[in-house]
Chain A
């Protein structure tokens, strides 16, 4: 993604809206008069230069965008479209395009070449998939725009492979306007839900599925995948739908990690009350929302920062979020406004998703989800008119040579190979960020709590302890960590810190079964991020099941560990640690460690820890070594 400054974005926005219409005029005028005068016919006045210039601009944008368009061919299983989103060959498409195709497919680009591509990740509920083309590291690609700035009336165009016409790999372009935004098109069963989607009158036909909807700049605002059909059969009637690029961005990290991604549920349903308020109509007592205080009949005011005024608006927000994210929810009860952070649960059990992906639990075999808003209009389904063939044969054919080593099957994953790729990428970033001499010995962290009382933490290879004004806690770092969440009330802070030290020193592979989960919006965007940019910064998430606990590490792009959530039991409330770094170096910076951290457990803030001094000892034969060898600090006490 190319970073853009706020001011440039605004400029782009305005020119994007203003320019293409004269261009459209130019097409009509030029066709009618100047460009191809009939023999002997008198040509009319030439169109103004500005109009011709705008048209040339439009042609150039479409040519550039077309270069990133992918024609997907999956043999007997049909095919569809896709769009390259990075120079190393990652391309977004629809789940319903690649599901019948299996692991390997052929992808044509407008350069006339056919590339091998391998399945990377799947999102059945959101109808997204990620594939990777191989053979180049300089693929033409398109930027993902901020789809929340898209407005009705904006010019847009699709470039894709309708009716699988692109046998020469040249995409078909169809232009139109944005007909509606924030549309909700209900799921088939529990999958293929189009929430907060973009409606367009650009022709979206069977085969366009998976291709990009571009704005006037040629940036991707959506992934086309669905259309309303009725009496004229499965051909466009001016009503197509695209998954928003912002939704795609939410899932892109998890898809890159080779996962079969799930969508989120709040564990509560909402309904419109007689007075028009959106209220909780049902809630699971086991849900995080319930634990945080949400109750039956509470009015939902906002979710994930977006206002909720209708049930559709609620579904639109929820339908674009991955499971596992923690989002703010604002509700009102008795005139009082409450704001809580809610961790979203998964819609499906893992086995359910597996069945869907393998074609055994497809939409047609499944009942409609309760609460689906409206019955599907006739033909109002995703247009897998790209000949939705029978699921691929049970025995997968051998991978082509070009894809050798790029696929690894594992339950829960579309392609576990890419999970290792992402995990190792994060591991390398963590290692580079923390220039600690390895193997290391005891870490000593001293500092102050919010009330200026001192704390002291010691993390040794086999033992961890914390001194707090309320007392001292110690755990055995070499064995199971789940026995006794310490210190009391923290939910397992010492265990989290033990794993934190181990992650930094020895990498994710030292933490047992560690997988790459995907991304979450960064809690504290990097300082370099221009203010006002709507596109969020994402941090990576690693998940480790180790020593009887489960820990999730949030890691910034620069390898800084920004947070840890640790569960000592599956249904326990996690210990949530969030690290803050000094922008200009400071305490611990020499070894990449944070300036402070906060700890929360359940509804309680356990403490805010400001670090005065970090001492990282080298490993010695004797774990009780005393002499500090590496010190970093900015306080007076740290001077030596």
Chain B
């Protein structure tokens, strides 16, 4: 529990321990860092990330962690990154434009890159042992966008409550990650918190705060973090190019008309993907899609815009089964359209 107790087991008795504690906490030489010093050190590597969004429930900000002095930033994969301009602001107020290096859609993590040297990184140590329930932790995040400019992100304290597999969703969206997470006795489920750093009392990065999700079973908002080994795997895959292509921007697009799905004209930045009609005899018509259906997901991935529909379909391989989730009269309806044709294939 206490670092001092663990470091000096042989002296952990009575008055000698008191002396050790006093030395460790107050002495100028071998003193353990105070929580304030630990936070101050680690928070330099936590950045405020600004991108797309700005409407209720879809904030345009989240948190990122500088994991290399060269400017690699780990953050969560979210709509915030669905923007041509992503900015990272350090705790000294420096603002950097960020480039999306790649994303791991399974763990819903992304890596950004900013141009810098000798940046104050909070390193990813993949082989750090997992922390056990009862361990005290600190969460550093850009919650509620409270901190701006050179203001430091917010610090919260808590305890690891449990180490369990994640089963979570938000609305109709089901979290793809089913691996282990740390459940936290600390309210980290706040706007802007995702991507934040979970550190131990030595200032080591032990996890990354996850997206805002509810438990599938109970609907309770979850306070959780991805363990650092999972984060490291995602980071390695992304940087090595092994993770799937980023969802946002740049992906190949697929025209839903090839499935017989005729959407309203793409007139806005984010045209909501309403069905205008289905082509008679098409897979869409066979699946029972109707005019005025609103597409909300393609194979479980949310599609807030027409463009997102084209990109989500483009991310599938030819022959992959296509499943569209639509809202019809307030109800969610799932429609299977069969295998996706090739992009050049005539309907």
Chain A residues packing against B (C-beta within 8 Å) = 14-15, 17-19, 21-22, 24-25, 28-29, 32, 48-50, 53, 151-155, 176-180, 182-183, 185, 199, 201, 228, 230-232, 236-239, 276, 309-310, 312, 373-374, 377-378, 380
- By the criterion CB–CB under 8 Å, are B56 and A378 in contact? yes
Inter-chain contact count A-B, CB under 8 Å? 135
Given contacts A180-B146, A237-B187, A239-B146, contact A152 B221 (CB under 8 A): no
Q: Is B157 an interface residue (CB 8 A)?
A: yes
- By the criterion CB–CB under 8 Å, are B190 and A25 in contact? no
In the assembled complex, the Cα of A239 lies from the Cα of B43 at a distance in Å of 17
Size bracket, chain B contacts: 35 or more
Chain A residue numbers with a CB within 8 Å of B143 are 228, 238-239
In the assembled complex, the Cα of A151 lies from the Cα of B14 at a distance in Å of 31
Kindly identify, within residues 1 to 37 of chain B, every residue whose CB is under 8 Å from any CB belonging to chain A: 1-2, 5, 12-15, 17-18, 21-22, 25-26, 34-37
- By the criterion CB–CB under 8 Å, are B13 and A239 in contact? no
In the assembled complex, the Cα of A569 lies from the Cα of B26 at a distance in Å of 59
- By the criterion CB–CB under 8 Å, are A201 and B157 in contact? yes
In the assembled complex, the Cα of A236 lies from the Cα of B186 at a distance in Å of 11
Given contacts A49-B18, A177-B35, contact A238 B186 (CB under 8 A): yes
Chain A residue numbers with a CB within 8 Å of B13 are 48
Interface locus among B101-109, B148-156, B261-269 = B148-156
In the assembled complex, the Cα of A28 lies from the Cα of B14 at a distance in Å of 19
Given contacts A50-B17, A153-B39, contact A201 B156 (CB under 8 A): yes
Per-residue A-contact encoding for B184-218, CB less than 8 Å = 1, 0 else? 00111111000000000000000000001000000
Q: Is B251 an interface residue (CB 8 A)?
A: no
Nearest CB in chain A: distance from B255 CB, A: 36
In the assembled complex, the Cα of A232 lies from the Cα of B151 at a distance in Å of 26
Chain A residue numbers with a CB within 8 Å of B271 are none
Main secondary structure of the interface of A (DSSP, over half): mixed
Given contacts A49-B15, A152-B40, contact A180 B144 (CB under 8 A): no
- By the criterion CB–CB under 8 Å, are A177 and B190 in contact? no
Chain A residue numbers with a CB within 8 Å of B134 are 28, 32
Nearest CB in chain B: distance from A129 CB, A: 25
Kindly identify, within residues 112 to 152 of chain B, every residue whose CB is under 8 Å from any CB belonging to chain A: 134, 136, 138, 143-152
Kindly identify, within residues 34 to 48 of chain B, every residue whose CB is under 8 Å from any CB belonging to chain A: 34-40, 43
In the assembled complex, the Cα of A373 lies from the Cα of B149 at a distance in Å of 12
Partner of B18, one of A50, A153, A231: A50
Chain B residues packing against A (C-beta within 8 Å) = 1-2, 5, 12-15, 17-18, 21-22, 25-26, 34-40, 43, 56-57, 93, 134, 136, 138, 143-157, 159, 186-191, 212, 221
Highest count of chain B CB atoms <10 Å: which of A19, A48, A49:
A48
- By the criterion CB–CB under 8 Å, are A25 and B148 in contact? no
In the assembled complex, the Cα of A278 lies from the Cα of B136 at a distance in Å of 40
In the assembled complex, the Cα of A312 lies from the Cα of B154 at a distance in Å of 16
Which 4 residue pairs spanning A and B have beta carbons closest together? A153-B36, A238-B187, A50-B18, A153-B35
Given contacts A22-B2, A153-B36, contact A50 B21 (CB under 8 A): yes
Chain A residue numbers with a CB within 8 Å of B14 are 48-49
Given contacts A180-B147, A239-B144, A309-B93, contact A18 B156 (CB under 8 A): no
Nearest CB in chain A: distance from B254 CB, A: 34
- By the criterion CB–CB under 8 Å, are B36 and A48 in contact? no
In the assembled complex, the Cα of A237 lies from the Cα of B187 at a distance in Å of 6
In the assembled complex, the Cα of A538 lies from the Cα of B334 at a distance in Å of 71
- By the criterion CB–CB under 8 Å, are A228 and B190 in contact? yes
Chain B residue numbers with a CB within 8 Å of A182 are 151
Partner of A228, one of B136, B146, B157, B159: B146
Partner of A25, one of B1, B18, B36, B152: B1
Chain B residue numbers with a CB within 8 Å of A154 are 35-36
| A-B CB contact pairs (8 Å), 21 listed | A18-B25, A49-B18, A50-B17, A50-B21, A53-B18, A153-B36, A153-B39, A154-B35, A180-B146, A199-B154, A201-B187, A230-B190, A231-B221, A238-B143, A238-B186, A239-B143, A239-B154, A276-B93, A312-B148, A312-B151, A378-B56
